[in-house]
Amino acid sequence: MTKKKFTIADFQKYKNEGKKFSYVTAYDYTTASIVDESDCEVILVGDSLAMIMLGRDTTVGVTLDDMIHHIKPVVLGAPNTFVVGDMPFGSYNASIEQAINSCSRILMETNCDCIKLEGGVDYAPTINALVKAGIPVMGHIGLTPQTATSLGGFKVQGGTPESARQLIEDAKAIEEAGAFSIVLECVPTVVGKALAEEIKIPILGIGAGKYVDCQVLVTQDLLNMYGDFKPKFVKHFANIRQEMVNGLNKFHEETVNGTFPSEEYSFNKEVKISKL
């Protein structure tokens, strides 16, 4: 049975009813089609593609054109899953006009369901302007990879009373600006709980403990496709990297020993070929 596509209204409905939902990533058609067959409700096409798909050390450097290029096939591959398009660094930071133009491009050229952007109180006016322009916005606070250097690197955020309170103020500002949900990344469980309780819109947690409204993980992380790299908050729900290596090695083995292709995988029609 085809799953029913999640809507923006469902985000709030699930929070109000105390129902959890899941949120993963995809950056290509094939992965998106696999997620679409799963029960996961939401896909993010994140600027994390810089690290996962392009092998870079940071998300900074991905362009708006890069994001559009990757979001398009995900939308096509996952027609029954809510798709979020991430705003890359430099595409919304200069001005509200730039943000509206960039977000409009993503929505119009990819047909994704909303955009996500990083930033707290300082970006509330931008979020408000986007919402007034008819653009659905998902916020992102806590560890924000685009500005991780200024936060001291990829570290847990909200670890002091002052920084925890700032996250709550950021979330309130984003909520008041009109965002329909907020990604909260890499914070202590108690901070995730506090935000989920104080903020009316859904809190979507990645490394934010169990009390948030939704759990978010990168698909390549949760399926163990990276090998040795594993953030603390990631659980491996499958071991796909090793399964892929095993399959490739089996193909190599049967190629070398001549057992592949057998008749089953060959075109076996008899054809009379004249001698030269």
Helix 29-37 × helix 64-77 angle, to 10° = 40
C-alpha pair distances (Å), 89 with each of 93, 116, 174, 181, 249: 7, 12, 18, 20, 40
Q: Is 185 a catalytic residue?
A: yes
Judge contact between 203 and 173, C-beta under 8 A.
Answer: no
List Cβ neighbours of 263 (8 Å cut-off, separation of 6 or more): none
Choosing from 185, 197, 263, 264, the catalytic residue is 185
Rg over CA atoms, the chain: 22
Which residues does the annotation mark as catalytic? 185
